Chain A
């Protein structure tokens, strides 16, 4: 058990819909990362938050947004969903913003029908 909690584990929805993925980092970790794993793109970094502030952005679509709340949990919002958004979405956390091991949650498997 990594200590990073992601909910839900599975999500099935339709094109055009909006979903919210939730992540609770390990106790004491201030930094949260979101990654997307798909068959064609592999594991891709989406966005990082540190202590409530956005710190780095990767290849995150404009239809996607995220935030980190004062209790340090984070949410990833995906809107206007397309078939290509089907993927495994991971949240990871680390103690500080860089040069630290990252520990991953079990992921949310999103299926768009």
Chain B
């Protein structure tokens, strides 16, 4: 099956810093989604981004489907950005998502 690799596995940021998270996938996909799992365990859909670039406040994402990767940018990080960021790909026509292992982000005041 398709492999989804995220890097780095862990990231510690000082409040106000910028960062980039990466997601590589091993085969062509129908779409890619980014999620944030907050410290309470809730999974929030940040972006549905099969290709191109999208922005939502301080977060933006870019997917280059032809090169099989996606990037999530966090700018001016805040403590509320802490949690685990997952990318997930839909590799077939059935809708099921294949998740990466996640990037654990800790933002310190």
Residues in chain A within 8 A of chain B (CB atoms): 2, 31, 33, 35, 42-45, 48, 50, 55-56, 58, 88, 90, 94, 97-104, 106-107, 109
Q: A42-B101, A42-B102, A43-B86 are in contact. Are A100 and B95 (CB under 8 A)?
A: yes
| B45: interface (CB < 8 Å) | yes
A-side contacts of B90, CB under 8 Å: 98-99
B45 touches A98 (CB 8 A): no
Q: How many residues of B contact A (CB 8 A)?
A: 23
Tell me the complex Cα distance, A4–B8, Å: 30
Q: How many A-B residue pairs have CB under 8 A?
A: 63
Tell me the complex Cα distance, A35–B42, Å: 13
Q: A42-B102, A102-B33 are in contact. Are A48 and B45 (CB under 8 A)?
A: no
| B44: interface (CB < 8 Å) | yes
| B43: interface (CB < 8 Å) | yes
B-side contacts of A50, CB under 8 Å: 95
B41 touches A103 (CB 8 A): no
A94 touches B86 (CB 8 A): no
B94: nearest residue on chain A (CB-CB)?
A56
Tell me the complex Cα distance, A19–B70, Å: 38
What is the minimal beta-carbon distance from A36 to any residue of chain B, in angstroms? 11
Tell me the complex Cα distance, A101–B95, Å: 10
Partner among B41, B45, B94, B99 whose Cβ is within 8 Å of the Cβ of A55? B94
